[in-house]
Amino acid sequence: MPEPPRIPAAPARAALGLVGGAGYLIRGIGFWGRRPGAMALGLLPAVLVAAVATAGLVALAVALDPLVGWATPFADGWDPTWRFLLRLTIQVVVFLGATVLAVVTFTAVTLVVGDPLYERVRRAVDAEAGGAVPEGSPSFGDLVLDALRAVGLGVVSALLVALAGFVPAIGGVLAAVLGAILGGAILGRELTGRALAARGLGPVERGRLARGRRAPLLGFGIAVQLCFLVPLGAVLVMPAAVAGGTLLARRMLGEPELPRRGQAAEPGAPSAPSAPSPSPPA
């Protein structure tokens, strides 16, 4: 009897890493039951920034039709069906790109505006997981630089998504998938970055660490991004995303996992190693 085909090890590990990374958002949501006070405070900056981001997307959606019509005067004499399809395609790909940029910008700006409140969430996660809570914290200048770096990547991603939308036949699907991947990758790095910076890791070290953990970071980022696209999802999920990002950062460094409710944390476990501990990439 022939043996069933085996799944290659690398794709299997990547798939498990994606699913495992997404699971850290679920674990972050669980912190609403563990530390509701700290989590509730994390809603405030998300509400303010989400209101501005949503207003911008709504304004863009309202203005897209006349703007695209103004930008494509050459299509005025076309057959109505082809003119409609061209202008609809442009509107869809522009809005998809703007959505990717809005999600990335929302996360970056919210983390800067609400950093003191999200610092409480990160410290609560570290306290629950056991060991000494890291005392380090990135400066405001470093926070702004990280945010600008993320927004810059978001602009590039939005342009790539818009260009992908013009691929014949599969442009819409390709743009949506590419947007999820690029946006998820940026969010995964951004939401784990603060916890890693608190442990003394600079941008270069964080980048080196992330390269070996692409799958879980991507899975986590995509899960967060999908929740952000649900009405009010960005506001409600943001504190959980910070908590989940802190847990994932601990995992990346080989620090103790979060104990189950009622289980004692590991005493004396280190939580601020001077360099990333080697762990097999997912």
Q: What pLDDT shows up at residue 106?
A: 95
pLDDT of 3? 54
Distance (Å, whole) CA 230 – CA 19: 20
Supply the pLDDT for residue 108.
94
Structure token pair of residue 177: 């998938």
Query: Tokens for 25?
Result: 């958002």
CA 99 to chain centre: 13
CA distance 114 to 190: 14
d(CA 3, CA 164): 40
**9: Cβ contacts below 8 Å, ≥ 6 apart:** none
Tokens of 73: 């005067």
Q: What is the pLDDT of residue 282?
A: 40
Residue ranges of the chain with per-residue pLDDT less than 50? 1, 7, 260, 262-282
Whole-number pLDDT of residue 30: 92
SS3 113: helix
* Alpha-carbon distances of 11 from 14, 121, 282, rounded to whole Å: 5, 34, 10
